Structure 1
Amino acid sequence: MNEAMKEQLFKKIAEKHDRMVDMYRYLHAHPELSFQEEQTAKYIEAFYQGKDCDVRTNVGGRGIVVTIDSGKPGKTLAIRADFDALPIQEETGLPYASETPGVMHACGHDAHTSYMLILAESLIEMKEQLEGKIVVLHQPAEEVPPGGAIGMIKDGALDGVDNVFGIHVMSQMEYGKVFYREGNVQTGRANFHVKIQGVGGHGSSPHKANDAIVAASYFVVAVQSIVSRRLNPFDVGSITIGNFDGRGSFNVIKDSVFLEGDVRSMSEATRNLIEKEIRAKLDGVAAMFDVTYELDYDNDYPVLYNDPEMTAFAANALQATDMPGVNAVERCEAQPPSEDFAYYAKERPSVFLYVGASPEEGEAYPHHHPKFRINPESMTIAAETMGTLVIDYLNGGSGK
């Protein structure tokens, strides 16, 4: 029975293909930054008007929660798609390129929203054949801490939900393939801001000053030893100093310097160790150069953990289903970027999957690149993938 339902769903998705692409192009041309997605939220809300579902708006900000109730007892599954863009000037040359200067959908969230809208509409049309409930999470602000997920959770988006599934289209993964991995799959993240305060002076009399640039430079070099000399070689961690603001005059010794850094790790223990070591290095620099410092250290997105039992369910369901356009369902390596879907996974056993979206022609640029683009046909695969999981989960009595 499930296979017949999937075929029906796939047919609906195929019939709505052109609408899905039109929505994608519209959203791509009208991007909005995190926490500023006013028009995008209105667009999503308007899509559901008149449809047989419950729509809750302004969830944790601009989030939208759509509940599709079959009217039959069963589990409740949440499926999530994000919809914010990035502060990047688009350089793709696409005919539907961003019309907003300095703002671009450079991560695929426009595709996530488009496929999810078409999938949700199709599931609404088929809901009498399902059991339990589907909760569609249209989430803003994935890109900027604290992220949109945590606000939606605090505002009750997961109330009554048993499990959560998410999908990300990936520009540098092969089109036609769906990827999964159990356990820790994406890094946790932290960021820090440091002001190192010395004593300014004239370049002709360095002995009368405490040079903040020299102290800050020692700190930049010292923190690189944390990964190479404090982490277990089998652990994953990285530290990047992305901003060093020491601009001044050539003959003036700076009295203060500002730095900003990024930390990634694949376990909470590693994240805690890195923070401890960064603080220790700053203490050492302060003592060595007789300077002071102010540190603002923020642990934001957690490590994204895919529940092994739920991941096995998802992999088995997808591998057993003949999805048009899908050549393979494969286990992949862990992914370096961070993702605020991790907050859902901390609350409920969850799975985050990847759909290959490499362009048909030209270079496959990475996410957050001005020339980032995807193969739009990957949206159909994403819809079929998520639809398969919904049907097998609700009508098949899945894992946890």
Structure 2
Amino acid sequence: MPIVNRAADLQPEIQAWRRDIHEHPELGYEERRTSAFVADRLREFGCDDVVTGLGGTGVVGVIKGKAPGKGDIRSIGLRADMDALPIEEATGLPYASRNPGKMHACGHDGHTSMLLGAARYLAETRNFAGEAIVIFQPAEEGGFGAEAMIKDGLFDRFAIDQVYGMHNGPGIPVGSFAIRPGPIMASTDAVNIHIEGRGGHAARPHLSIDSVLVGAQLITALQSIVSRSVDPLEAAVISMCEFHAGNARNVIPQTAELRGTVRTLTPEVRALIGKRVHEVVEGVAQLTGAKIDLEYVPGYPVVVNHAAQTDFAVTVASEVAGSGNVAEMPPMMGGEDFAFMLEKRPGAFIFCGNGESAGLHHPAYNFNDEAIVFGTSYWIKLVENALAA
């Protein structure tokens, strides 16, 4: 397969880019070095247009094929994310992070480098009709970078008919892909609760409104929403992960703070849980006499793969990896802001095997360089098949 062979030829260079980016991780909207690195490479490759600063630190490159676009699909967008996480790296690698407290613990260094490799090949060969738009996005890790690029004109300034994304997948064998039509990743809403009770002496609780007890009641009631309000055949998660109150063993604290996350796979369940959280908070406040302020913050939408584009992605991945190496995966309750792009254009999000590595967002995680050939080849073949000359 010539594309795979050419990607293999490029692998050492792509790996070098990846490790350089890994050594210099930058958090969301701080990706100035990474963005400059990407833009410099795209200009070196001879991209027809390179735009920087989109959505803050995003970069977009335009590569025109050897012929004008034809048919219904004249251009496709390929998206990679660039930001790192606020994690102290624990890999011990020779190219480990040089920036204390920052780490590429989700493989965005690999995503960026594989798309750069594809951009180099596509600019070199231009064996397609139309335009390939390579999108390097900032701030995927909770920073709404995809939405920022859209608001800054991504789909207004560039003619993108379809858009595709890819993420590495620990636990999926290298050389394999996984995907599904419809919901593939969850929405991610945030729950922030401030409880105002009445502080007092621990020996006289009857004179207080115990913010700790109120918080405990809230957590129990909120956790019951999924088991008692959501259809058992639907997927949903409420996890209250922070509880801050008090600083002495004999003082009932005046206030408490709770923070958590809500994950769902359909707009209907998302709306239901939002409604029930508000009702539970109001009910516990009335029951206990505490003043409870709820901040329910909508996050990323559900990542919904479009059926026709998912079928196409499966075909392309099968050509790269073999039909037996493309699995239909169950939905994941993790979130991805590529969802915003799929709300604007048809497309699909796929997982590329990272082998038996540490999990995403783990201090010992590392992107598997053996996956480079497969991810890069997928991007290339996606363009050449979708925009056949």
Q: What band does the TM-score fall into relative to the shorter chain?
A: over 0.9
CA distance, structure 2, for counterparts of residue 180 and residue 219 of structure 1: 37
Residue deviations 1:121-176 (CA, integer Å, cap 9, x gap): 1101112x31011111100100024x100011111212321100111111221212
SS of residue paired to 1:85: coil
SS of residue paired to 1:110: helix
CA distance, structure 2, for counterparts of residue 384 and residue 191 of structure 1: 37
Matched, 1:10 2:4: yes
Q: How much has 1:316 moved relative to structure 2? A: 2.2
Q: How much has 1:244 moved relative to structure 2? A: 0.3
Does the Cα contact within 8 Å between 1:171 and 1:373 map onto a contact in 2? no
Q: What does residue range 75-94 of structure 1 map to in structure 2 within 5 Å?
A: 75-94=74-93
Instruction: From the superposition, tell whether residues 390 and 215 of structure 1 become closer, same or farther in structure 2 (CA, over 3 Å).
Output: same
Percent identity over the alignment is 34
Q: How much has 1:73 moved relative to structure 2? A: 2.6
Residue deviations 1:39-98 (CA, integer Å, cap 9, x gap): 111111111234242001100111111111225133110000001000111111111111
Aligned to 1:383: 376
Aligned to 2:288: 289
SS of residue paired to 1:366: coil
Aligned to 1:4: none
Aligned to 1:46: 40
Residue deviations 1:298-345 (CA, integer Å, cap 9, x gap): 1110000000011112212332x2x37996122222122110010010
CA distance, structure 2, for counterparts of residue 262 and residue 179 of structure 1: 26
Matched, 1:35 2:32: no
Matched, 1:72 2:65: no
Instruction: From the superposition, tell whether residues 324 and 232 of structure 1 become closer, same or farther in structure 2 (CA, over 3 Å).
Output: closer
Q: How much has 1:385 moved relative to structure 2? A: 1.1
CA distance, structure 1, for counterparts of residue 358 and residue 5 of structure 2: 31
Does the Cα contact within 8 Å between 1:115 and 1:383 map onto a contact in 2? yes
Aligned to 1:62: 57
Q: What does residue range 247-258 of structure 1 map to in structure 2 within 5 Å?
A: 247-258=246-257
Does the Cα contact within 8 Å between 2:69 and 2:387 map onto a contact in 1? no
The aligned amino acid for 2:40 is A
Q: How much has 1:188 moved relative to structure 2? A: 0.8
SS of residue paired to 1:49: helix
Query: Please, which of 351, 373, 376 is the counterpart of residue 354 of structure 1?
Result: 351
Aligned to 1:142: 140
Does the Cα contact within 8 Å between 2:169 and 2:354 map onto a contact in 1? yes
The aligned amino acid for 2:63 is I
Does the Cα contact within 8 Å between 1:171 and 1:372 map onto a contact in 2? no
SS of residue paired to 2:154: coil
Instruction: From the superposition, tell whether residues 220 and 259 of structure 1 become closer, same or farther in structure 2 (CA, over 3 Å).
Output: same
Matched, 1:267 2:266: yes
CA distance, structure 1, for counterparts of residue 220 and residue 365 of structure 2: 32
CA distance, structure 2, for counterparts of residue 313 and residue 43 of structure 1: 31
CA distance, structure 1, for counterparts of residue 139 and residue 301 of structure 2: 16
Aligned to 2:331: 334
Query: Please, which of 368, 390, 395 is the counterpart of residue 388 of structure 2?
Result: 395
The aligned amino acid for 2:69 is P
Query: Please, which of 349, 352, 361 is the counterpart of residue 368 of structure 1?
Result: 361
Greater mean alpha carbon deviation, residues 249-258 or residues 67-76: 67-76
What TM-score do you get using the length of structure 1 for normalisation? 0.92
CA distance, structure 2, for counterparts of residue 366 and residue 372 of structure 1: 6
What TM-score do you get using the length of structure 2 for normalisation? 0.95
Does the Cα contact within 8 Å between 2:172 and 2:355 map onto a contact in 1? yes
Query: Superposition RMSD on alpha carbons, in Å?
Result: 1.5
CA distance, structure 2, for counterparts of residue 187 and residue 60 of structure 1: 23
Does the Cα contact within 8 Å between 2:87 and 2:105 map onto a contact in 1? yes
Q: Alignment length, in residue pairs?
A: 382
Does the Cα contact within 8 Å between 2:4 and 2:374 map onto a contact in 1? no
Q: How much has 1:391 moved relative to structure 2? A: 0.7
Does the Cα contact within 8 Å between 1:37 and 1:140 map onto a contact in 2? yes
Does the Cα contact within 8 Å between 2:69 and 2:75 map onto a contact in 1? no
The aligned amino acid for 2:351 is Y
Matched, 1:175 2:174: yes
Instruction: From the superposition, tell whether residues 109 and 208 of structure 1 become closer, same or farther in structure 2 (CA, over 3 Å).
Output: same
CA distance, structure 2, for counterparts of residue 27 and residue 317 of structure 1: 28
The aligned amino acid for 2:21 is L
Q: How much has 1:29 moved relative to structure 2? A: 1.0
The aligned amino acid for 1:340 is D
Greater mean alpha carbon deviation, residues 387-396 or residues 131-140: 387-396
SS of residue paired to 2:334: coil
Aligned to 1:241: 240
CA distance, structure 2, for counterparts of residue 101 and residue 325 of structure 1: 41
Matched, 1:224 2:223: yes
CA distance, structure 1, for counterparts of residue 307 and residue 215 of structure 2: 43
Does the Cα contact within 8 Å between 2:47 and 2:62 map onto a contact in 1? no
Does the Cα contact within 8 Å between 1:326 and 1:381 map onto a contact in 2? no
CA distance, structure 1, for counterparts of residue 296 and residue 181 of structure 2: 30
The aligned amino acid for 1:275 is G
SS of residue paired to 2:388: helix
CA distance, structure 1, for counterparts of residue 275 and residue 47 of structure 2: 52
